[in-house]
Amino acid sequence: MRRRPGLYRAARDVRIAATVFAVLIVVFLGSVALFASEIRPSWGASPFSGFSQGPNETAVASGQIWIANPGEYAIDSLSISTVVLFPGTHGPVVALGGAPSQRIPGGGTTVVGLSLTIPLSTGVGEPLLTENLVLPSETWVNLTYATLFPLRLGLDENLTWGAPFEGLAVDPGTPQSEPNGTYEVPVDLSFNDDAEYSDDGTIGVRVNDPSGVQCGQGVIAIDVDSHAAYDAQFTTYVGSACLASGSTVVLTFQGGPWAISLPPEGFP
């Protein structure tokens, strides 16, 4: 049989190689689709547990997601980001959270730790101490599967926030003058603990006159269970300056890791 010429053989071999590449690519893509279909994320009732008191006057939620990746290809650069917004159109950001970037090798199950931190002591977080709110949240999951295929998942959902001092009300009674020149004021303090943790600690009471100068103080101990109401009366002694219109009472809760000022109320 006549031998095929060199250029002809080279061209034929290159075409065969191209066909082999095409077959390999189809097999690879098929295996990617097959293995990707076997990935299973799972969590408990919710990816996040309930909120608890965190350091630096924050409320912290943590959670875990189990991701089973039984296939051969790794999940790279898996990151989860959550943003919680204040109610209203494009409200300011209340909290940031998620999980740092990590890799899930093929053939294994990985637990992804989640965290969400809401600062309560400053700015937009302050109303969350005394107001139950429905907070819109956005969560994004970014990952790359089999090195080549980026995937982005987005989930919008509402987060129900229970305030630890919901409906905080300070209702001063009628002042009674004392022989030493001060005034005894009965104060009714009420709120609901709608958070998922108890309010166990003390509330410092500081009364400021209209110019901001402290003119009275006191401390009361509280231990209010989660989802319980608190309504109690205590007595504070204030100077005459505190009776002027425009005075305020500032409550500071100290308990667990918190030492947090509650929104000021009018006094009397």
Partner 1 sequence: MRPSATMPARPYRLPTAGELAVGAVWQGVLYGLLFLGWPYFASQALGQFGIAFPFPFGTVLLFGLLLAALAIAAYVARPSRAAGPVAAGYDLAILAYLYWLAQSSSLALAYQSFTIALGVRAVFLLFMVPPAVRLVADLLTTAEDAFRPTERYPFDFPA
Query: Which residues form the interface with partner 1 (CB under 8 A)?
Result: 2, 4-5, 7-8, 10-12, 14-15, 17-19, 21-22, 25, 28-29, 148-157
Is 34 or 151 the residue whose CB approaches partner 1 more closely?
Answer: 151
Q: What DSSP letter does each residue of 215-263 carry, written as one string?
A: EEEEEEEEEE-TTEEEEEEEEEEE-GGGGSTT-EEEEEEEETTEEEEPP
Q: What angle is formed at CA 254 by the lines to CA 249 and CA 259, rounded to 5 degrees?
A: 85
State in angstroms the smallest separation of the CB of 244 from partner 1.
Answer: 52
Rounded Cα distance, 56 and 59, in Å = 9
The DSSP bridge partners found for residue 260 are 253
State in angstroms the smallest separation of the CB of 2 from partner 1.
Answer: 7
Is 11 or 232 the residue whose CB approaches partner 1 more closely?
Answer: 11
Is 21 or 66 the residue whose CB approaches partner 1 more closely?
Answer: 21
Is 142 or 217 the residue whose CB approaches partner 1 more closely?
Answer: 142
State in angstroms the smallest separation of the CB of 44 from partner 1.
Answer: 20
**Which residues does 155 contact at the CB level (< 8 Å), separation at least 6?**
138, 139, 140, 141
State in angstroms the smallest separation of the CB of 3 from partner 1.
Answer: 10
